[in-house]
Structure 1
Amino acid sequence: MKNSVVSYPSFKSGRKIWLQAHLYLGLFAGALLVLISLTGSLIVFGGQIDTWLNVELMRVDRPSENMPVKALSVILKAAEFVLPETGMIREVKFPRHPDAVFSILYHIPPSPDSYQIFVNPYTAEILGQRLWGAFDWCCSWHGPLMAMIYRFHDSFWLGKIGAMATGVIGVLMLISMISGIVLWWPRSGKLKAALAVKPKSSSERLTYDLHKVFGIYPAVVLLMLLFTGAYLSFHGSFPKQVNTLVGLLSSITIAPDFSNHTSHVDQDPISMDKVLEIANSVIPDGKIDFILLNNTGNGIVKVFKHGPDELMESITRRMVAIDLKSGEVLYTNYGNNNTAGDIFDEWQLSLHSGEAFGLIGQVIVFTMGIVPLVLYITGVLRWSQKLKVKRLITKKI
């Protein structure tokens, strides 16, 4: 009886598979990633850029150091003077700094578009208003510059379909990055050469070396950004499914759904000043960041406070839900022990934006925006060089 021989794919054939994956994923998904990454760089400092472009709307001079901020009821009363007859307030964003303003977001049904009213916190003067737009595909492409850039980064102005597409691109480019690392991986004793650009080399070798070093040095950060970006895109499109998937390892705390809530008290709504008083009694520390008003008629208001222990200034986790008629506290996550799933979920956006590591982290993420462009240009050049060589060989044959 002859011994049977089992053949395994050679390293060379395996490398060819990785090379094909790296090439085609990089050529097609990589082109879209360039657009996502460049807009992502701007978003890192999007709030500051938006304020700089709209100083007259978003910045005020504090009259004196001890000048108090006007009561919320006064701010809302001032906003109502310019609010259209059918306008409905969705959100009230509080000033985060002494020279910042109140931003009141409203919409005019049935349009999904939103608008912003800016109010001086010390005088209740209306500073102006502007179209904000919406995430929906119909309205993503208009509004303030930074809002449009953010929506393009998030969904290519295509709403939920675009958000799913960015998630898929993130996954595909993760595979491309991993294939690039596999192809780069040096043999024993060749690590130093694999990490360097060869001096006085040909244009072909220089292109290869630049592609190599721009891919390998920031690889950890790029892999992190691709993973967190894909996670955020899929979580935005399929929150229940993603939470279930994460929940296989650790549960994620989900706030109750109040869409079917009906108040058991038949009386006029309590004042917004009273709402803040209740919220501050439930969550005594931190600063009020914003309030969400429910426009479905179920009389729920949600107050969000930013605590000193939260990772990101732009994301607020502490929340209390209050019945507007009875003043009853329906839910708060304050004092809850975060699960590992909660911590994992919270870190995704803070890692993606760089805020988890402060200003240094933001600067690193900002600079990473140019890396996919360099990789794409050098990758296309390298591909075209190889095609040229193949054509020359074919002609000789």
Structure 2
Amino acid sequence: MRPILVRLHRWFGIGTALFLFVSGLTGAVIAWNQELDAALNPGFFYARSPAPALSSLELANRVEAADPRVHVTYLPLGVVPGRTLLMRVEGRLDPATGQPYTLGFNQIAVDPATGIIRGRRDWGALSLRRLNLMPFLYQFHYTLYLPITGSGIAIGVWLLGVVAIVWLFDSVIALVLAFPSLRTWRKSFAFRVRRGGYALVFDLHRSGGVWVWGLLGVIAVTSISMNLERPVMRPVVSIFSRLTPGPETNPELLAPHPASAKPLSRERIVELASATGHRMKLNAEPGATFEIASLNLYGVGYFKPGGDYADGSPGNAWLYWDARTGHEVGGAVPGRGTAGDTFMQAQFSLHSGRIFGLPGRILVSFMGVMVALLSATGLVIWFKKLMARRSAAQRVKTVRPAVLR
């Protein structure tokens, strides 16, 4: 049995090593995405005016009035003192062509006191410019910038999801192989530092993996959830616990609306969200709103200004409304719902380490480096053994003619 497991571990490792190396290093960096982005681009993130901030809803209206091509799709409702307000935008439909206007940007930084746009960028663009570097790394981490097929399949997202599945199975195999004999279990936790060389490389791979094995499993499982939530993770979790359907499956959203029906204003949605939050006794006021026009959907998150990443918790509460009727069509509130709902709600916070606040993020950065280290040492071990096998085979070929003579 062990030879079979060794072979599986070898080929699973070779097949996933490069992807895991890249994902590990980028993950270690983007654990500090906001801080690094702000440090690299202070003019984009920090406001210059000391005057009191206007309301976010008023600022969004001013942005859209100043450029009728622009439609604000994500709007933080609270302002962090000294910071700009970062809005996500998209082009409205051009009446002449029936297609969205090409803006050249999808995120803007607005001075909350004046409404002046301090910066624009295309978040997620394939660019290494300082303004685009952190969004580039963030998106590269889970898409590899591979294309989306005509049928809407994101090749990179699927590929890394499959890599995570293989990695999860390979981690179990690796743990079995790390303990060839229970009598010598201590060796599987030791590092031959003084000996150095190949022995240390081997121990970094085997013993290093053993020490962090549980955390590797968490990262692998949450990676599957991040990339393959609907096709893989939700069906698996639903075997053990009922899952509340997402808002996009609500039949009301799919029902045809009269041509004259217009989306409700952001102001009205925020009013509904505030009233609903009080009724549900949520622990925060509405913190952001987003709109998906193609689904006739508004979403509202509940968190304090700057708390969109929900540090120190399993996530923020999000509720959803039909943009045409104002009817509530779904929601996700951490800690409420089924066990499966709670598990799914915590996936991002677990994957990013933010569920444990600052210590969790430090740990995730460390684990990103460890994933890269385990991948690199695995390739070194494989290559050394490959060279040894080839050398042995060459010696056999040399000896055989000599014996015949």
TM-score, normalization: structure 1?
0.81
Aligned to 2:58: 74
Aligned to 2:298: 301
1:337: how far off?
3.8
Contiguous gaps of at least 5 residues in structure 1:
1-13, 134-138
User: Counterpart of 1:248 in 2: which secondary structure?
Assistant: helix
Residues 1:24 and 1:76: Cα distance change in structure 2 (over 3 Å): same
User: In 2, are the aligned partners of 1:44 and 1:353 still within 8 Å (CA)?
Assistant: yes
User: Counterpart of 1:208 in 2: which secondary structure?
Assistant: helix
User: Counterpart of 1:293 in 2: which secondary structure?
Assistant: strand
Aligned to 1:151: 139
Letter in 2 for 1:80: E
Q: Pick the aligned partner of 1:54 from 41, 45, 54.
A: 41
Q: Pick the aligned partner of 2:169 from 169, 175, 178.
A: 175
1:150: how far off?
1.6
TM-score, normalization: structure 2?
0.79
User: Counterpart of 1:123 in 2: which secondary structure?
Assistant: coil
User: In 1, are the aligned partners of 2:222 and 2:348 still within 8 Å (CA)?
Assistant: yes
Letter in 1 for 2:224: A
1:81: how far off?
4.8
1:86: how far off?
3.2
Residues 1:90 and 1:185: Cα distance change in structure 2 (over 3 Å): same
Aligned to 1:9: none
1:392: how far off?
4.1
Aligned to 1:393: 392
Matched, 1:333 2:320: no
User: Counterpart of 2:162 in 1: which secondary structure?
Assistant: helix
Identity %: 22
User: In 2, are the aligned partners of 1:279 and 1:303 still within 8 Å (CA)?
Assistant: yes
1:22: how far off?
1.3
Question: Superposed, which structure 2 residues align to 1:215-226 within 5 Å?
Answer: 215-226=209-220
1:275: how far off?
3.3
Letter in 1 for 2:83: A
User: In 1, are the aligned partners of 2:31 and 2:365 still within 8 Å (CA)?
Assistant: yes
- Give the helix-richer structure, 1 or 2: 2
Aligned to 1:348: 347
1:184: how far off?
1.0
Contiguous gaps of at least 5 residues in structure 2:
92-98, 149-153, 400-405
Aligned to 2:10: 23
User: Counterpart of 2:30 in 1: which secondary structure?
Assistant: helix
1:315: how far off?
5.0
Letter in 2 for 1:33: L
Q: Pick the aligned partner of 2:88 from 99, 105, 128.
A: 105
Residues 1:180 and 1:296: Cα distance change in structure 2 (over 3 Å): closer
Question: Superposed, which structure 2 residues align to 1:242-391 within 5 Å?
Answer: 242-253=233-244, 254-255=246-247, 256=250, 259-260=253-254, 271-284=265-278, 285-296=283-294, 298=296, 300-306=297-303, 312-313=310-311, 315-321=315-321, 323=323, 328-331=326-329, 333=331, 337-391=336-390
State the alpha-carbon separation in 2 of the partners of residues 204 and 323 from structure 1: 62
Residues 1:241 and 1:34: Cα distance change in structure 2 (over 3 Å): closer
1:114: how far off?
5.1
Kindly provide the CA deviation profile for residues 108-165 of structure 1, in whole angstroms up to 9, marking residues without a partner as x.
24469751122222333322222224xxxxx666882222112111111124111110
Q: How many residue pairs end up in the alignment?
A: 369
Residues 1:73 and 1:168: Cα distance change in structure 2 (over 3 Å): closer
State the alpha-carbon separation in 2 of the partners of residues 225 and 322 from structure 1: 35
Q: Pick the aligned partner of 2:225 from 231, 256, 259.
A: 231
Aligned to 2:179: 185
